[in-house]
Amino acid sequence: MLLRRRATSKIALGVAAVLAPTLLSTTAAATPTADPGSSVNVAATASATMSSLTWRGCDADVPATVECTTLDVPLDHRKPSGKKLELSLSRIKAADPAKRRGVLLFNPGGPSGSGLFYPLALSGLLPQSVKDRYDLIGFDPRGVGVSSPLACGTTTADERLTYRPYKDATFAKDVAWARDIAEGCRNLNKDTLPHISTRNTARDMDIIRAALGERKISYFGLSYGTYLGSVYTQLFPQRADRFVLDSAVDPKRVWRSMSQSWAVQAETAFDRWTAWTARNAARYGFGDTSAEVERLFWDIVARADREPLDLGGTVFDGAEVREYIRWQITHPPVAAETLGLLRDAAAGKPVPTFPTFVPTDNELASYLAIMCGDARWPTDPAVYQADSRRDSVRYPLYGDSVSNVFPCAFWDRPLEAATKVDNKVPALIVQNEWDSQTPLVAAQGLRRALKGSRLVTVDEGQGHGVYSLGISTCADEHTTTYLITGRLPARDVTCAADPQPAADSRSASPNPVPVPARLPFSGR
């Protein structure tokens, strides 16, 4: 999740701790195209829940400004009086009741990211003008965290590398692994699993809206959260107020095509990183040309494939080295520091421990439930084998992994088709130009689907996530203005990235390597 990636120092520790001259009013949008799936609606349930929320204090270590509650929603929205799931919600009330506009819901991505305390995580970063106007509402989506959590009975070995590197010799084992994961999830969640989907989470959001007594909701979604937000606009266009979609998913590429795009973008990011590192050869000593830096990296990968590296007690093979660096190359100084440690480890020198993030059983289960339950995947293992062989050559950093066989190949067919997003709901999309996880082309795809939206692109922006993360003052100003006034820029906007620290300004650290995520969305 983003909290574990780009902004660990700003957000996670924080928990422990030029506008466009002409603007377009967001109230002037034409009526959006209706989604047939919105006929599975929440009216019956909403009427029963509007007065059911009882807010109380959260855990003892959570500030008193944060309140918590639970809300029952139908497992199957076609049967509103049937079996229920329990959602967990949090709230930080608007700081200035006189300026209060409504509620701002959050989703940090994933899919599988816990959003329950995301408002608290962001409260130190959001402008006061936003906190004055909105009740900040967090929630764990169905199946996630403490909201009727899923479990698939997976082990640490299953969870460490969900996207597995392709090898002819191990493909049969990978197929068996994927089948076993799918069968385990199905057996443990027979009644629930078919109903864990983005469309149903969007329907839950509308029940939350009604339970809060609001006519409309505003929303901030990151990474996968942009897809969730766009699906909500399609199902409930008249109930969407101000929607900020940060680091966007292309709704036409859900989900295998979207994951394969990571391999394409990783190659571009890798080339940019090797060029940067070569320009800073005086500091790092990895070579004066991109080719020399690249050769060093691949020599280390080959060494790790022959004999895994001991990275301070954590053992990495070549595929894990590739994935680790893939996360870091959008932050060149960090990746360069890591390359130095990898070189030392390959030479048998002791290095600090490389922290790793291994998802929990619930995180993996809820991730797979969405990835496999939103859209159909190929069911023939031969398709994955052919794609992996091809992409290992085209995109050597990560192509084999994201094209390899996946548990979704053995999942039950989704109950509903993937949502076609095509409407004129006003929304603001913000995007880094060089985000390799949700690339610019994906944000442009979402912009085409949301015809009433505007896209703010951060020129030369790197990393995953934009708003309030110190990426671009310009992009932050556009976003804050939209949340406060409801006005979008008159046209799409390109913003400059804020200056980043030079390579030689980084202080030495015994462990400069940030924790890598093992699952890609939301900042994973």
Please tell me whether residue 458 adopts helix, strand or coil conformation.
strand
Q: 174 catalytic, yes or no? A: no
| Measured distance CA(394)–CA(403) in Å, rounded | 12
Alpha helices by DSSP H, listed for 156-243, are 156-160, 171-188, 198-211, 224-235
Amino acid at 451: K
Inter-CA distances, 338 with 46, 71, 210, 231, 514, Å? 51, 45, 48, 38, 9
| Marked catalytic residue, from 90, 123, 147, 223 | 223
Q: 288 catalytic, yes or no? A: no
| Residue of 72, 132, 144, 73 lying closest to 108 (CA atoms) | 144
DSSP string, 403-419: HS--GGGGSPPPSSPPP
Sheet hosting strand 56-57, strand order edge to edge = 56-57, 66-74, 84-92, 134-139, 102-107, 217-222, 240-246, 428-434, 454-462, 493-496
| Marked catalytic residue, from 77, 195, 331, 464 | 464
Contact criterion met (CB below 8 Å) for 251 and 419: yes
Please tell me whether residue 189 adopts helix, strand or coil conformation.
coil
Contact criterion met (CB below 8 Å) for 457 and 431: yes
| Measured distance CA(348)–CA(368) in Å, rounded | 38
| Residue of 16, 32, 524 lying closest to 249 (CA atoms) | 524
Amino acid at 398: Y
Contact criterion met (CB below 8 Å) for 394 and 155: no
| Measured distance CA(167)–CA(175) in Å, rounded | 12
| Residue of 261, 95, 134, 111 lying closest to 198 (CA atoms) | 111
Q: What's the Rg (C-alpha) of the chain?
A: 23
| Measured distance CA(438)–CA(222) in Å, rounded | 10
Q: 59 catalytic, yes or no? A: no
Inter-CA distances, 286 with 233, 297, 305, 327, 505, Å? 49, 9, 21, 20, 18
Contact criterion met (CB below 8 Å) for 84 and 75: yes
| Measured distance CA(505)–CA(512) in Å, rounded | 14
The residue count for the chain:
524
Up-side HSE of residue 120: CA atoms within 13 Å toward CB?
22
Q: Which two tokens stand for residue 27?
A: 């109230």
| Marked catalytic residue, from 135, 206, 400, 435 | 435
| Measured distance CA(373)–CA(53) in Å, rounded | 29
Catalytic residues: 223, 435, 464
